[in-house]
Structure 1
Amino acid sequence: MNDIEWQRPDLRPHIKRISAAAGWRWRQRFSPRGALRRRVAGQVVLITGASSGIGAGLSHRLARAGATVLLVARSIEKLQDTVDDIQADGGRAHAYRCDLADLDSCDRLCEQVL
């Protein structure tokens, strides 16, 4: 029994592969993109002021994460451009015209959305 020399297996390639897979899972679970996708995928999100600036940027990001975005602003022309961009990227978006300073306009928006 002493004639047989026992060799220790080289575990380095396996450890590298396992640590790489664990790192990938960690990044997917705790990365901001993964967290956003888990929160909004399949949800409907209404964004006011979505024709430009922060609202437009947010609508693109939420649509890429899998949400259906309802875009609201006073200018329907600018909203339609944003909707076209989102749909060209494969997202779902709908435009609604509303002046949030006008309560009658807000009531019409609620009726349309619901």
Structure 2
Amino acid sequence: MEDVKSAADGGNDDHQLNCYGLAFPENCSTYYGPHSVECLTTIWELKGCLSEGTKAPVKLTTIEKDITNLLNVEEVLDNFETVRIEADGGDKDKGLECYGIGLYS
């Protein structure tokens, strides 16, 4: 089992599926934080948000990054998807966070 976990943490997609239930997104090297800005940006864009968004990973404060680092990859995926869904549902604040523009005035 330790070999499977080591292989998963080493980047093996099949072992990531076996160990964690999902293959890590590109630029993500661990299931648990801390997560690199590159990893978070990949997930952010994968979920449909833009770099112009006020909560894009490169724009997070140190405290926000620390909070994100407490999440595992799956929780980050879910969190970023929720931001996009709420933005698309008409939430003005989430629209700014995800897209950087107020889509719903």
Q: Give the TM-score band, short-chain normalised.
A: under 0.3
Larger relative strand fraction: 1
Structure 2 length-normalised TM:
0.26
